Structure 1
Amino acid sequence: MIQTRPALQRYAVMASLCAATIFSPLSATAQQAVVQDGIKVRPLSTSRIFAGGTDFNQQSKLQYAQLVNEAKQKNALVPDSDPQVKRLRAIAQRIIPFATRWNEAAANWDWQINLLNSDQVNAFCMPGGQIAFYSGIITKLNLTDDEVAVVMGHEISHALREHSQAQAGKGNLAAIGSKLAGAGLSAWLGVDPNVTSTVTNMAAQGAMLKFSRDDEREADLIGMDLAARAGFDPRAGVVLWQKMAAISKGAPPEFLSTHPSGSDRISQMNKHMTQVLPLYARSKGVSVDALPPYRSNTVAAR
């Protein structure tokens, strides 16, 4: 049947309305998917599967228990009643609920937080969630709660991303690869295998340093993300590394270190601040523009 022009126009309008109704949710979803919610979650490193099958979490838990017991025997374990211990555990309680975003297994970890009386500027988190801070990092850097949260988030991130397992796997692969490469190079050049193995081992070691620096960079970003979601200012990360630079003069050059340079870390943090600062603003119920400037404490006199 031949449609008149007005009828065809009405049909076209109705078809357009139906199409708009059907596809509008898809368009909205597509637009929302473009918006990045904090630091992007990526798959865990496949190198973990070459770690030799060791139960890292259980082994790490035993090592941590031994460390705590030794510290207790030497009166170096700060008691639970200490204000700084309570402070660390309160900060951890706010961060840990967001850990499963990066590793679902963290929901079943046996989380522990302890403070060791030591001048070392250090902190760590074992695979499985056992955290230790050395008092030196708190006192020498005069850390604010936000800065403690960034440090804690960084260390937790190493455990969440299973960097220890991945490093072990990469180490096993590098060892095998260096032996094969050394044997092949020796046969091709007709020289002593010991000479070529030295060269290939040096190359493998350089690759491992690179892997470790990459892990540190990833932990920096995820640490800021965790801290921001928990209501701590991620801008503290930049100030933290400015403080670290002030007390770490004479550190080895970046290409010989397992850690990126402080300037490299600060640059990366600033580059990703637009992704994590909205998380912090959201936790405070305000816009990014309404956030006050970050305020820190001065570094304690040495």
Structure 2
Amino acid sequence: MTARIRKSMWKTTIVAAAMIMATGCETVQTTQAGAVGVDRTQRMAVSSQEVDQAAGQQYAQVMAEARAKGLLNTNPAHVARVRAIAQRIIPATAAFRPDAVKWGWEANVLTASEVNAWCMPGGKIAVYSGLIEKLQVSDDELAAVMGHEIAHALREHARERVSEQSLAGTAISIGAAVLGVGQGGQQLGEALYQGVLGLPHSRAQETEADRIGVELAARAGYDPRAAITLWQKMGQMGGGDPVKWLSTHPSREDRLRDLTAYSQRVLPLYEQSRRR
């Protein structure tokens, strides 16, 4: 069997198996569309309760380890900024999902050189001191980062990725059994999944988070155009983009183009919030 035929059979088998298993998934719309119009339906194979519980436990563990090392909330000014921004963004989440306002939100700052931030399912936020200090972010730029990460939680992207990986793993195992291939064949199937389904979908999730993030910032009274200056700063830090096809993030050019368009779309919300 030639490599080309084998790849073709793998693609067909994986897609067919995934379609069969998808009938057992729950089709959901995790958020309302908002002004930015994010309305993609999602298929979930695991419950939000399972994911939220696991995320809460993991967040508590990360915070406990950071506290034990003296790396948790060591700079009161950083903590005050992050929590003040979170308190303004949280009410804005109701525009996408009213239940989110009542989540058990937490916001903490980890002392680390990494330029990073994240929000776990259920509203568990962490901002790294390296992001604040190395980029010298304004409050508007920090709100852009936090809005983006909160958007991932609102859209339940982590739950969606867990569901996809679970389905893909089963599909690949079925494909390996049907085609009678060993570990090498299964690795090929996994590579095909990442290239055909996994990475492009991750890029779509990043774009959704960008768009929802600028709207959250605007509704909270932060200039949504700061998302553009933020990514420009990141670009100036050095290091070229990875090959777009192999990246889970959109290219820098695509991202800046999209952020420019959508920050303009939500600018009236920002102006309205400033008049309150």
Q: Could you tell me which amino acid in structure 1 is paired with residue 54 of structure 2?
A: Q
Whether 1:71 aligns to 2:66 is yes
**Structure 1 residue 249, shift from structure 2 partner:** 0.9
What is the aligned partner in structure 1 of residue 161 from structure 2?
167
1:13-44: CA deviations, max 9, x gaps?
A: xxxxxxxxxxxxxxxxxxxxxxx962125265
Determine what percentage of the aligned residue pairs are the same residue.
Answer: 42
Whether 1:236 aligns to 2:231 is no
**Structure 1 residue 251, shift from structure 2 partner:** 4.0
1:31-84: CA deviations, max 9, x gaps?
A: xxxxx96212526522x2x137761112111111111111111111124x7111
> Residues 98-109 of structure 1: matches in 2 within 5 Å?
98-109=92-103
Q: Could you tell me which amino acid in structure 2 is paired with residue 148 of structure 1?
A: L
Q: Could you tell me which amino acid in structure 2 is paired with residue 285 of structure 1?
A: R
What is the aligned partner in structure 2 of residue 216 from structure 1?
206
Structure 1 unmatched ranges of 5 or more: 1-35, 287-302
1:223-274: CA deviations, max 9, x gaps?
A: 0000001110111111111111111414422222222222111011122233
What is the aligned partner in structure 2 of residue 42 from structure 1?
39
CA contact (8 A) 1:103 1:160 kept: yes
What is the aligned partner in structure 2 of residue 126 from structure 1?
120
Paired residue for 1:252, among 242, 251, 255?
Answer: 242
Given the superposition, is the C-alpha separation of residues 37 and 212 from structure 1 closer, same or farther in structure 2, using an over 3 Å criterion? Answer: closer
Distance in 2 between residues matched to 1:209 and 1:147, nearest whole Å: 27
CA contact (8 A) 2:225 2:264 kept: no
Paired residue for 1:268, among 258, 261, 264?
Answer: 258
**Structure 1 residue 178, shift from structure 2 partner:** 2.2
Q: Could you tell me which amino acid in structure 2 is paired with residue 115 of structure 1?
A: V
**Structure 1 residue 101, shift from structure 2 partner:** 2.2
**Structure 1 residue 221, shift from structure 2 partner:** 0.5
CA contact (8 A) 2:219 2:273 kept: yes
Distance in 2 between residues matched to 1:37 and 1:282, nearest whole Å: 16
Given the superposition, is the C-alpha separation of residues 196 and 66 from structure 1 closer, same or farther in structure 2, using an over 3 Å criterion? Answer: closer
Report how many aligned residue pairs link the two structures. 243
Alpha-carbon RMSD: 2.1
Given the superposition, is the C-alpha separation of residues 140 and 53 from structure 1 closer, same or farther in structure 2, using an over 3 Å criterion? Answer: closer
What is the aligned partner in structure 2 of residue 60 from structure 1?
55
Paired residue for 1:200, among 186, 189, 200?
Answer: 189
Distance in 2 between residues matched to 1:195 and 1:55, nearest whole Å: 33
**Structure 1 residue 180, shift from structure 2 partner:** 2.9
1:127-157: CA deviations, max 9, x gaps?
A: 0111000000111111000000000000000
The worse-fitting range, judged by mean Cα deviation, of 233-242 and 36-45 is 36-45
**Structure 1 residue 201, shift from structure 2 partner:** 1.6
Larger of the two Rg values belongs to structure: 1
**Structure 1 residue 285, shift from structure 2 partner:** 3.1
Whether 1:178 aligns to 2:172 is yes
Distance in 2 between residues matched to 1:268 and 1:211, nearest whole Å: 17
Whether 1:89 aligns to 2:86 is no
- TM-score, normalised relative to structure 1: 0.75
Distance in 2 between residues matched to 1:62 and 1:124, nearest whole Å: 15
* 3-state SS in 1 of match to 2:248: coil
Distance in 2 between residues matched to 1:193 and 1:182, nearest whole Å: 7
CA contact (8 A) 1:183 1:196 kept: no
Distance in 2 between residues matched to 1:226 and 1:234, nearest whole Å: 9
* 3-state SS in 2 of match to 1:55: helix
Given the superposition, is the C-alpha separation of residues 44 and 72 from structure 1 closer, same or farther in structure 2, using an over 3 Å criterion? Answer: farther
Distance in 2 between residues matched to 1:131 and 1:44, nearest whole Å: 25
